[in-house]
Amino acid sequence: MSMEPILQISLDLTSTKEALEMAEVAVEAGVDWIEVGTPLLLAEGLHAVAALRERFPDHPIVADLKTMDGGYLETEMMAKAGATHVVVMAVAHPATIRAVVKAAREYGIQVMGDIMAAEDPVAAAKLLEENGVNYIIVHTGFDERGEDPERSPFDHLDAVFKAVTIPIQAVGGLTIEQAAEMPKNGAPLVVVGAPLVIDKKEFSPSTNKEDLKKILSDLVQRIRG
């Protein structure tokens, strides 16, 4: 399924205040979707989602729940707080995937299924699609990459792309260069993490706002071709 490239910023911060500041810069730069990263959800929960929804009434908001159980309730909570997308893990029980999809349909939001840690990434992606998920996330985990820097979403991207018909997002240690190439690789949903580490320069939320804005603006231009 083809779709226009979309740029999503992942707010992997631990305070709503910092997240709002960074989202502000990202939105000014032309970023389309705002992701409430797992660290932010753990620190601030649905209050972060609600604060971002209030500040950015028209932007899609992804809550990276990585749901493993209690799928209906987690989805319902985030939908009520203002999320438009939630994330369920492919390695969860299929009943959990179905519960997330059921709640999402009832609340008019969408589901992203993450294949991280799946033994068979292709089977995991197919399972997600069969159970009604809207997007597949081909994700190489932070800890996995920490132990084995050779690992990347490219390990599975092509095989997954050939196996499913729903749109794909690739996540995990990609450089800005690689992110810019993602739409050409069959993954039109491009994600960049924040704080970003680019060319060994770390962006903390309070510094380098102009640098961050420029990097994101350039990336928006590139993925829109």
Helix (H, G, I), strand (E, B), or coil: what is residue 84? coil
Q: Write out pLDDT tens, residues 149-202.
A: 999 999 999 999 999 999 999 999 888 889 999 999 999 999 998 666 545 555
The model carries a pTM of: 0.94
Distance, CA of 24 to CA of 117 (rounded, Å): 33
- 6-107+172-224: in CATH 2.40.110.10: no
Residue type at position 36: V
Q: Write out pLDDT tens, residues 45-72.
A: 999 999 999 999 999 999 999 999 999 9
Say if residues 61 and 53 touch (Cβ distance below 8 Å).
yes
Domain ranges for the chain, please list them: 6-107+172-224
Please give the span between the terminal C-alpha atoms of the chain, in angstroms, as a whole number: 19
Please give the mean pLDDT across all residues of the chain.
93
Task: Give the per-residue pLDDT at 211.
Answer: 85
